[in-house]
Structure 1
Amino acid sequence: MTELDKTADSSVPLHPLLATRWSPRALNPSATIGDEQFTALFEAARWAPSWGNTQPARFIAARRGEPTFDRIHGTLSRGNKSWAGDAAALAIGVARSVNDEGEPMPYGEYGLGLATENLVLQAVAEGFHAHQMAGFDREAARVEFAIPDDFEPLVAIAVGELGDLDGMPDRLVEKELRPRARHPLADLVFTDTWGTPLF
């Protein structure tokens, strides 16, 4: 296993779950995720906040070695397929887009985002990493899993243990070794008027 210190370089200390969360591609192909740990990912997602407690998040998930894992893997973009097969588990996050009255679901995508972040942080708490991916064929996923029209597949997620960089393409090794970076708070949080930094 490659040891990489990717702790966030933050202006003030963050909780370790946040500071150490990152999205590796080098995953251990022999690592597994136990029943309770796997369930905990989705239990954490279930308890995410949502607008009016509408709970719009749904997931299709499986562990490596299960047929559904291979079906999820088959919807990934070529670049993500090259490494995500080593994950211990794969999932597709789906947002409910229409409510029971047939009207657009308010904040459905936001709710899925909150649920997915809960899942990701639970993965970190369980000793895993999670990598969220936009690179998958949403329509292929819809067809493969018979996702109803009033739900939108929005994100694929790989969960696993950190693995070795050996054998990875140079372009992926470079991404793994690149320091994590974010815009400064002065660019993100304002006060008084737009563009006036709070911090």
Structure 2
Amino acid sequence: MTKQEQIALDKIAKNDHEIYALIKQRYSPRIFKDQALTDQDVNRLFEAVRWSASSNNWQPWRFIYAHKGSDAYNKIVECLSDFNQSWATNAPLLLLTAYKEQNPDGKENFHALHDLGLSLGNMAIQAEYMGIALHHMAGVDWKKAHEVFEVPSGYHVTTAIAAGYYGGDLNDLSEELQEQETATRKRMPQEDFAFKGGWASK
């Protein structure tokens, strides 16, 4: 068993209640197998997005994506925070996520971010089914992304995603990031966020 395979086993969630296996297995690596994602791979990920739930079926999610080696990929890297730039180039595919701010009537779509999140949940489970890892990144300069990619008014770039097949060499990361990569996963207990009958004073 390789070290990365052992890490993947160690990352399986220690759940308190039984859940779907793909949810247990999913985690967010910063290293990826040296294998390009094909157009078919990408199409399957976006097909999962396409069938996500959304308010009034408005489907406000939007994406910009690029394969490693392309000018667009390098432009996405330039929009990432310095920290994310230090590892994200390990990924064969980078994406920017965005949402449409208004509904078809021109009013604010209050649920657009919620719907974008639902679409990314679909993508994450589809990716896990395919052996593909996603690492979602908040550290992105959305204003710069708007300029670089000439995002039209009425849309808002939100996050970035590094995508690639699970695997890769742990030595491609700094010592600090290697520690994070192998750290035990932790989650708050259910009673800290799910309140039966009324809001708890947490």
TM over 0.5: yes
Letter in 1 for 2:124: V
What runs of 5+ residues in structure 1 fail to find an aligned partner?
none
- Corresponding position of 2:188: 183
Deviates more, 1:105-114 or 1:160-169: 160-169
Matches within 5 A, 1:3-14: 3=5, 4=7, 5=9, 6-14=11-19
Letter in 1 for 2:139: G
**Aligned pair 1:46/2:50, yes or no?**
yes
Letter in 2 for 1:51: S
Say which of 138, 157, 177 aligns to 2:161. 157
Dislocated runs of 4+, deviation >6 Å: none
Percent pairwise identity = 34
| TM-score of the two chains, using structure 1 as the length reference | 0.93
CA distance in 2, matches of 1:49, 1:102: 21
Q: Which secondary structure does the structure 2 equivalent of 1:190 belong to?
A: coil
How many Å apart are 1:41 and its aligned residue?
Answer: 0.8
CA distance in 1, matches of 2:109, 2:47: 22
Say which of 170, 177, 187 aligns to 1:172. 177
- Corresponding position of 2:140: 136
- Corresponding position of 2:21: 16
Say which of 14, 33, 38 aligns to 2:37. 33
Letter in 2 for 1:185: Q
Letter in 2 for 1:116: L
More helix by share: 2
CA distance in 2, matches of 1:89, 1:101: 35
| TM-score of the two chains, using structure 2 as the length reference | 0.91
Residues 149-199 of structure 1 deviation map (CA, whole Å, 9 limit, x = unaligned): 2111011001012212114212111111111110011212111232299xx
